[in-house]
Each structure stands twice: as structure tokens, then as C-alpha cells.
Copies of this chain bind each other. A is one copy, B any other.
Amino acid sequence: MPTPFPPNRQVILSSRPKGVPQPEHFTLSSAAVRPPAAGEILMRNHHLSVDPAQRGWANDEGNYSDPVPLGSAMRALAVGEIVESRAPGYAAGDFVYGWFGWQDYCTTTTAAVLRLVAETDLPLTASLGVLGINGLTAHLAFHSLGRPRAGETVLVSTAAGSVGSFVGQLANLAGCRAVGVTGSAEKVAAATTRYGYAQAVDYRASADIAADIAAACPAGIDIFYDNTGGAIGDAARALMNTGGRIIQCGTASIPHWTPPPQGPRSERQVLTKRLSWSGFVIFDHLAAFPATAASLADLIRAGRLTYDEDITAGLENAPAVLAGLYRGENLGKAIVSLV
């Protein structure tokens, strides 16, 4: 008996980009939906995530994971509904968040599932951002590596970004003073009116980013949540208070690491200020996802945590949304909806 599904449309990575992937690096094609084997699920994607990290996956940049093979569906996080399950613990009708790719359907082992979505009272799109790796990253890195105390100053680079927009709010909820660095007047406004920041600096408009950050942090910096590195990071590290914590969560401002880019040495600051500078990669923390997502969901329900989404309809538009990310076009989590 044939499977009762329409063809599975897929956005295929058809050529290897150098730098930011553009629509011409992808093609739209279809394949038959494969029925699940024993231990597998077949799920239908409702919403696709569009993330800066996809640049690294499409390129051959030696990131955390192997590059996406040419000719296969673009690697992506997504959320959707199980339509058929042959895996214990998963049932048709369950909603799942995981590595389902830019396609309509995904037949996969449960190794691709990051989380069963328990918060069915909240919009399903929330599972991609505030309850997905963005919100989970913000919460886990800020609390586990930041160890915030009330009254401390928290500086966040990319304050209006998919992670930074939550760090500001979580810092605020922890009784800290959040200061943001971001890249437009519109993002400064969003940071200070919606994302919990007491103050935000527009680095593109700044003539002296170090002076502007210093002016915004008159009591120094206790926690630096760094998504950019580079000149913003250098300025922030110079302002750290004794015992300060630096969370390295991204290096978005530095395009190439070969040959090694140079910057001011950090050894003396780390030593004399007793800094603790740590790297954070969310996929090390899978076991903490359910409880952390539950905490974030409670904050949303209580009206204490805001999230923004930038939703585009149609699978075929995913490549253009990804290219737009790098032009800073979105405000809020970039999502492509299929339903």
C-alpha cells in the first residue's frame, strides 16, 4: 500500500557557498515520503527555523558539525507533528522540535528529536525560539556561567538578537542592570522598550564604541554575555569588574579565523581581575532542555518574558530569509511557516 502523503518538497543545498548562502545555492525539489522503519518517526514540519549557524553548515568551515552534503535537504531545526510513529515513547499527534530540515516531511530516528513539545497552550512557533535553542541558550548560559547577583551590570552584545533579546529580560528578572550593544536605532529601541535593557549602544552609529560602552556601564561590567567578539569584546573585557564572568556564546563579528586574527592580549585582565571566561555551546546541555523550557514557558504565561517572531510563509522562501538574516533585516526570531 503506498503512503497516503503528497510528495515531500525539499530545499536542497545544490552548490557550496563561500560566505553567506544565497538563494542560488539552493533548489526546490520533491521526493516521495518514506514510511518510518522500526524505531523511526514520520513527522510533518509546521515551522522551520532560520539561524545564523546555517551559514557554517552550508559552507565547509569546520564548525561543530560536518557540512551539509550537496544534494540533500538543508539542515535546519524545525517543529511539527508526528504523523506516524514506530518509536517507543513517541505517538502520532505529539509535537516535536529537532533536526528535521527544510522540507515538508521528515522520516528519522528519534536521535533527531531535541525535545517533545509539552507547552501545547503556547503557540507552536515559540518552540523554535524562546522555547528552542535561542531561549534555552540565553537561560542556561546566563544562569550557569553568569551566576548573576542582584545589582550587577550585565553587558550583552547583539542585544536585540535571537538570544540577546532574552538575556536582557532574564538579567532584568535577576535584579541586574542590563546594557546592550546592537546595530541600529530600531534595535536600540526594541532592546530598551521590549527586551529589558536599561540602556543600549548602537555600535554602527558609535564613533568610539569603547567610550560609549564605558559611559553606559559606569559601575563596570560583572557579566559580559558575548555573541560577537572583536572590538566590542575588547572594549568590554577592559571594563570587567574583579570576579567578572565572560560568557562566550558566539563570535559573529569575526568573519575568518585563518590566519589567526590578532587582538589585545587577555592574560593580564583574566589574572588581575580574576575573570572567568567560558565558552557555551547549547548542544552540550540537552538533558536540561525540558526543565529549562518549562521555566521559560512559565515566564511567558506570567507575562514576564516577551518574544518577537518574524514569520515568512512558504518553504520556497527559506533561502531568501536566511540571506536576509545577514543583512540584519529581521527583528525577532526568523521563522518560515509551512501550515
| Chain A interfacial positions (CB closer than 8 Å to B) | 63-64, 226, 229-230, 233, 248-251, 254, 257, 260-281, 284
Contact = CB atoms under 8 A, between A and B. Distances in A.
Contacts of A276: 276-279
A270 B248 contact: yes
Given A233-B267, A248-B267, A262-B263, A64 B279 contact: no
A248 B268 CA distance: 8
A21 B257 CA distance: 41
B275 A271 contact: no
30 contacts: A63-B272, A64-B272, A226-B267, A229-B267, A229-B268, A230-B265, A233-B267, A249-B271, A254-B267, A257-B268, A261-B264, A262-B262, A263-B265, A266-B266, A269-B279, A270-B277, A270-B279, A271-B279, A271-B281, A272-B279, A273-B279, A274-B278, A274-B279, A274-B281, A275-B277, A275-B278, A275-B279, A276-B276, A277-B277, A277-B278
Among A230, A251, A261, A275, the most chain B Cβ lie within 10 Å of the Cβ of A251
Contacts of A274: 278-281, 284
Given A254-B265, A270-B277, A276-B277, 16 more contacts: A63-B272, A64-B272, A229-B265, A233-B267, A248-B270, A251-B268, A261-B264, A262-B262, A262-B263, A262-B265, A270-B279, A271-B279, A272-B279, A272-B281, A274-B281, A277-B277
A63 B275 CA distance: 16
B250 A261 contact: no
> How many subunits of this chain does the assembly comprise?
2
Complex A-B, nearest 5 residue pairs according to Cβ-Cβ distance, in ascending order: A229-B267, A260-B264, A271-B279, A274-B279, A277-B277
Contacts of A270: 248, 277-279
A148 B177 CA distance: 35
A278 B246 CA distance: 10
A254 B271 contact: no
A263 B270 CA distance: 15
A233 to B, nearest CB: 6
A187 to B, nearest CB: 22
A284 B331 CA distance: 44
Contacts of A284: 274
A262 B250 CA distance: 21
A268 B271 CA distance: 20
Given A64-B272, A262-B262, A272-B64, A267 B280 contact: no
B254 A268 contact: yes
A222 to B, nearest CB: 15
Among A248, A275, A279, the most chain B Cβ lie within 10 Å of the Cβ of A279
Contacts of A260: 264-265
A70 B269 CA distance: 28
A229 B260 CA distance: 17
Contacts of A248: 267, 270-271
